[in-house]
Structure 1
Amino acid sequence: MRRFALPIAMTALLGTLANAGAALADAPKVVVSIKPIHSLVASVMQGVGEPALLVRGGASPHTYTLKPSDAKALSTADLVVWVGPEMESFLEKPLSSNAAKATVVTLMTVPGMTLLDAREGGAWEAHDHGHEHSHDHGKKDAHAHGHDDDHDHDEVNTHLWLDPVNARRIVTATAEALAAKDAVNAEAYRTNAERALQSIDALDAELKATLAPVAAKPFVVFHDAYQYYEARYNLSAVGSITVNPDRRPSAKRLSAIRAKIAGLDASCVFAEPQFEPALVRTVTEGTKAKTGVLDPEGADLAEGVALYPALMRNLAASLRGCLGG
């Protein structure tokens, strides 16, 4: 009987691998727009399948152009997860044409998602986090991309994943959508989602402790991408260099931001890896403010499950390092 031990073990192993392969083959084809959302979706799909990502590497959704391979992925997708046209304007038309057969989860309209209005102008009052409201399916049309940079944009802040409470909702909405598409693996999605929710809660508590010592210190950001993060951790951003990251700010605006930095004795001005660092040097010239880098989308991080917690920790480390030094 001993001579059968190895074949039986191998048979069991091959059976396990075959089942895993079947699960991957049968999993819904999921396409996700940007890296932070992809990370959260991947956490729900662990062990079942891998979502495809459109905006890869350090590319910005504000300036992204859809590639032929992206169009092909959309054409075969069962499920597409994106923030909404206010964030990924490049996806709005392709979702109607290329992904007409897919179920589309638009996070801006997920029930219970907390949304914040974009702040007006470039110099804000301390702790002015806009108007918080919860959207069901009544989002407003907000395509103000052609406005002059110094004008107000009547739109919602789209960087909603930077609030861990919203990240929880993204995970839950993804698990529900996947379970509806794939009943065979529904339990796996729900188990993964519960594990992800516990990790997000632990991350949230960690970040609160990390950022508490610098909550009162004023700082300026490149553009208004961090409002959810600021509101969650009671941070004191006082302005942004630009309203629209696609457009260079006017000399008048840069002068106003420099005056704000000097008047409030802002501790730090933060650049972003995708955009022009020279603007940060311009507004800090002649002030005591230090400079740092914040990355709201994980441009320099490898895509996957680990990206979201790494992104959130990196923001905390940059803020603590520059404001607390």
Structure 2
Amino acid sequence: MRVPGKVLSLALGASTLLISGALQAETRIVTSIKPVELIVSAIATEDMQTTSLVPPGSSPHNYSMKPSQRQALENADVIFWVGPDMESFLNRLLSGHEFSGRTVALMDTEQDHREDVNEEQYHDGGHGHGHDHSDGEDPHIWVDPELAIEMAETIRDALAALEGVDAAALNENLEQFKVSVRETDGNIRERLMPARDISLFSYHEAFTRFAEHYELKLEGVLTLNPELSPGARHIAEIQAKLRNANHPCLLTEPQFNRQWWRSITEDLDVTFSTWDPLATDIEVTPDGYNNFQQSIVDAVLECLPENTEH
């Protein structure tokens, strides 16, 4: 049957209004990096849309935004980032009045005064840092599950303050997240038992909080600033540690120069394993954060003698 043009037009118009209303009702959330998005997605309700700015293969330490991403920030109801010590490319933009009312930093710089491990050795040569931790703080807070729970609580509070949201559902999601993260934490501790005595080295300090939480032996960090080469003295110190270490394993990251760390470990008996602090291959689901944590464990277990690849 042929539908009269006027009736069809009215029907299409009504459909357009319904679709438009649904889109307008959707809460738009922008996160700086994917690990933050994984935590947000565990807390957010189904009518909330999440996205992250830094794409796969890029680093938040030197990223340059596209115009479309600036538009996404302008359209966002709330913006989550770790903070100025981490995503330096957002510092100037998010410090302005345009975004100040809807931007949430997840790192409490006043509360966290962790003593940096062997900090002096990483300042060799007087190099500056792409993300400044001169006060000894490590901004890679998401790799520590207890800090991830604190991040989730902050996220819940920020989302609950938005107009028209289901606060009860947010609270339920938060409680489920806490339970699942702590269950995963116990499982991870058991999985990592065989790796307790391995001498681990990391490309930069992103792995430090994970190692501390699970009492792993992180004996050296190649560079605090992955955008600059460390000084010659620091490289020599790391090479000496690698020679004297118990089955040394270097945890590298896919975002950074492979040839550089290969060159400084040449002729050394070192195992290599790759982990991804930005969770590039992890699907954004309510359980994505736990899957991310397990992926770190997988990388560490690749360092075991029976799994080694030099």
- How does the TM-score come out when normalised to structure 1? 0.79
Offset at residue 41 of structure 1 (A): 0.4
The corresponding residue for 1:191 is: 172
**Equivalences for 1:109-258 in 2 at 5 Å?**
109=108, 116-121=114-119, 147=128, 153-258=134-239
**Structure 2: which amino acid aligns with 1:59?**
S
Cα 1:121/1:184, change in 2 over 3 Å: closer
Cα 1:259/1:122, change in 2 over 3 Å: farther
Cα 1:23/1:120, change in 2 over 3 Å: farther
Q: Distance in 2 between matches of 1:216 and 1:114?
A: 28
Cα 1:122/1:266, change in 2 over 3 Å: farther
Q: Distance in 2 between matches of 1:200 and 1:300?
A: 19
Q: Is the 8 A contact 1:270 1:293 kept in 2?
A: yes
The corresponding residue for 2:61 is: 62
Secondary structure (helix, strand or coil) at the match of 2:226 reads coil
Q: What number of residue pairs does the alignment pair up?
A: 286
Secondary structure (helix, strand or coil) at the match of 1:64 reads coil
Query: CA RMSD of the aligned region, Å?
Result: 2.9
Cα 1:114/1:62, change in 2 over 3 Å: same
Cα 1:241/1:110, change in 2 over 3 Å: closer
Percent identity, aligned pairs only? 29
Unmatched 5+ stretches in structure 2: 1-16
Q: Distance in 2 between matches of 1:266 and 1:37?
A: 33
Q: Deviations over 1:244-266 (max 9, x none)?
A: 01112233332221111112234
Q: Deviations over 1:206-225 (max 9, x none)?
A: 11111122112211110111
The corresponding residue for 1:100 is: 99
Q: Distance in 2 between matches of 1:21 and 1:41?
A: 25
- How does the TM-score come out when normalised to structure 2? 0.82
**Structure 2: which amino acid aligns with 1:313?**
Q
Matched, 1:85 2:66: no
Q: Distance in 1 between matches of 2:77 and 2:41?
A: 15
Q: Is the 8 A contact 1:119 1:224 kept in 2?
A: no
Q: Is the 8 A contact 2:56 2:280 kept in 1?
A: yes
Q: Distance in 2 between matches of 1:154 and 1:31?
A: 28
**Structure 2: which amino acid aligns with 1:216?**
D
